Amino acid sequence: MNTFAEIVQSNQAWLCLDCGKCSSVCPITLHLVDGYTSPRLLVEGAVNSGEDRVLEDPLLWSCLTCQRCTEICPSGVQFSEFIHDARQLAWEKGQSGDCTHSGTIQSWMRMMTDPALEQNRLDWIDDDLRIAPESEVIYFPGCLPYYDTVFGDLDVEGTEIARAAVKILNHLGIEPMVLENERCCGHDSYWQGDMDTFRKLAELNLEAISQTGAKRLVTTCPECAYTLKSTYPEQVGSLGLEVLHITELLAEDDNLQKLFPTNSPELYPVTYQDPCRLGRFMGIYQQPRDLIQNLGYQLVEMDHYAHTSTCCGTSCWTTCGQLNKKVQSERLMEARSTGAEKLITSCVKCQIHYKCAQRDPISGSEIQIDIQDLTTLIAEKI
Amino acid sequence: MNKVAAKQKIILFTCNWHAFSSLEAAGKNNLVYSPALVPIRISCLGRITSGIILKAFEGGAAGVCLIGCPEGECRYQNGNQEAREVFEESRTLLRLLGYNENLLQYHLVSAGDGESFQENIDQLVKNIQDNRKTR
Ligand code: SF4
Ligand code: SF4
């Protein structure tokens, strides 16, 4: 693809020209601080004004690829995919959004494309956790060991989530494999438009995973789950096994039975953040809710939940600023207004972004609510 | 001119104050230090980030040295303390990535002391070169 107009064509985004329906739900359109943009205006720019107009549009770089637009689109336009294709073209022209965290995360992704790399990424595995050199189940922790280092000051549950996952799997009688040389899944490179890095990472993972002979792969990160399950087969090839987010596995009938053999005592009210990849991308809404209810919590939903859930406000470690903080602060206020005592997340990135937003001294107590990952909550109960 | 292959380059981030003046003093006094060093002057060592350090390794640097002002003498109060944190964080990331963490070195030097600069920097370069075999 050579021009943005061709990308409009291949994604049927010309349907947007007569529409604009999703401007009413797009968090970027809603919260943009300087000026105004919308999915429809971006497409119009691509068709009428050409390259410069597209590259200047803040939506090109700040779109969260959250699929809130796709959810209500009357014409079936996959606007997030349009954004991906446009970012890929921009990338090929040497342009990209601003990397957050000084580009550390993008650097380690690119460093992981070295086939000779021998990482030390398993230090989080305590002696009381059982993993096996061969198993039918792989646990794929993704970049959690790295997040511990970069986001330690935010009290983010990084490898605590990984330890909790293995503890639960052990409780269910599963001793998973954990790969010594797993690479970043490439989700963020893909959505940033850096297809070269994405393909290299994906090919290394494909080779490492497919030679294990495992039948199932479990992740605690919805972005890893979606990428391994859906993006890999489209772009590099299928892993030849079933990919599951941990909530899918745990909500299977016999696992629910083993985890919660008796009724749990009734606990305080909590609310739940649907991650975009787990919810709108993979359609997994009910399983985390079943688990929360089985734990004994009273689930109170936010105004925007399940299909209409709001994204955690930052995507692919690119472009984070006032606009993103507004999306996050509003969402945290929404969570508080339910009366819940805890906001449950099932994606480490949602947790990172909300805990970072909570550091904002101006918003103060209005956005304070306890945040915990569903996996660690379940692990505490067993 | 001694051309150093990209693979052997050691990137030296120096702050603009004590550290840079000691590097200049070494130069003025014709004190010889390793040709592998590529000095990059930044306003304060507190400006360094793990992203910049990883970027150097990603680009094939053999090592990275950070040199700044002595404790309590940072021109901007706590830049060297911040750099210390970034240094620790970056070493952990390097270890995770399977690099030898000693390929990243950190040192604080006093202004205008060319000889001590030469001595210390020779030691940092040696630390890096001794650790290269592992990666
Ligand atoms: S993505 Fe769908 S809803 Fe949004 S402007 Fe285009 S056609 Fe309309
Ligand atoms: S994917 Fe989300 S952020 Fe991007 S245009 Fe659609 S609604 Fe807006």
Tell me if A255 is assigned to some domain: no
Chain A CB within 8 Å of residue B85 CB: no
Q: What is the Å distance from ligand 2's center to A316 Cα?
A: 14
The answer on A157 and A236 residing in a single domain is yes
Assess if residue A235 is contained within a domain.
Answer: yes
Residue A140 reports pLDDT greater than 90:
yes
Specify whether the CB–CB gap between A151 and A158 falls below 8 A: yes
- A291 part of a folded domain: yes
Residue A211 domain flag: yes
**Final residue before a domain boundary, out of A29, A62, A92:** A92
Residues in chain B: 135
A109 and A221: one domain?
A: yes
Domains and CATH numbers, chain B: 10-130 (3.40.50)
The token pair at A278 is 């787990």
Q: Do B54 and A104 touch (CB under 8 A)?
A: yes
Give B112→chain A minimum CA distance, Å: 32
Residues in chain B where the model's pLDDT stays below 50 = 1-2
Same domain, A105 and A82: no
Q: What is the C-alpha to C-alpha distance for residues A256 and A290, in angstroms, rounded to an integer?
A: 9
Three-state secondary structure string covering A90-153: HHHCCCCCCECHHHHHHHHHHHCCCCCCCCCCCCCCCCCCCCCCCCCEEEECCCHHHHHHHHHH
Contact (CB, 8 A) for A327 and A315: no
Residues A106 and A80 in one domain: no
Same domain, A291 and A242: no
A13-41 average pLDDT score: 95
- Residue B5: what pLDDT? 60
Q: Are residues A322 and A363 in the same domain?
A: yes
Residues A302 and A376 in one domain: yes
CA of A317, closest CA in chain B: separation in Å?
A: 13
Residues A304 and A326 reside in one and the same domain: yes
The pLDDT assigned to B1 comes to 38
Q: Are residues B116 and B110 in contact, defined by beta-carbon separation less than 8 angstroms?
A: yes
A216 has a chain B CB within 8 A of its CB? no
Q: Please say if the pLDDT value at position A288 is more than 60.
A: yes
pLDDT in tens, A258-284: 999 998 899 999 999 999 999 999 999
pLDDT at position A132: 98
Rounded distance between C-alpha atoms, residue A95 and residue A186, angstroms? 19
Cβ pair A204, A189 in contact under 8 A: no
Looking at residue A66, its pLDDT comes to 98
Among B25, B13, B18, B1, residue whose Cα is nearest residue B75: B18
Residue pair B129/B65 in contact by the 8 Å Cβ criterion: no
CB-CB: which of A107, A119, A145 is closest to B54? A107
CA B121 to chain CA centroid, nearest Å? 8
- Residues A84 and A197 placed together within one structural domain of the fold: no
pLDDT at B7: 61
Q: Which two tokens stand for residue A308?
A: 């209409």
Task: Tell me the per-residue pLDDT of A84-106, one tens digit each, with 9 for 90 and over.
Answer: 999 999 999 999 988 888 899 99
Looking at the domain assignment, is residue A286 inside a domain?
yes
Same domain, A78 and A113: no
Q: Which of A224, A250, A276 is the last residue in one of the domains?
A: A250
Same domain assignment for residues A24 and A113 = no
Cβ neighbours of A91 (radius 10 Å): 18
Q: What is the CATH number of the domain that holds A69?
A: 1.10.1060.10
Spell out a b/e string for A231-252, using b for 16 or more CB atoms within 10 Å of the CB, else e.
bbeeebeebebebbbbbbbbbe
A87 within domain boundaries? yes
Q: Is residue A206 domain-shared with residue A282, that is, in the same domain?
A: no
Of the residues A41, A58, A92, which one is the last residue of a structural domain?
A92
Domain count along chain A: 3
State the average pLDDT over residues A189-201.
98
The nearest alpha carbon in chain A to B98 belongs to A119
Nearest to A339 by CA among A313, A302, A309, A314: A302
Give the DSSP H/E element, type plus range, for residue A235: helix A232-235
- The answer as to whether A216 is a domain residue is yes
**What CATH number does the domain containing A375 carry?**
1.20.1050.140
Categorize the per-residue pLDDT at A114 as very low, low, confident or very high, splitting at 50, 70 and 90.
very high
Domain range spanning residue A167? 101-250
User: Does residue A256 fall inside a structural domain?
Assistant: no
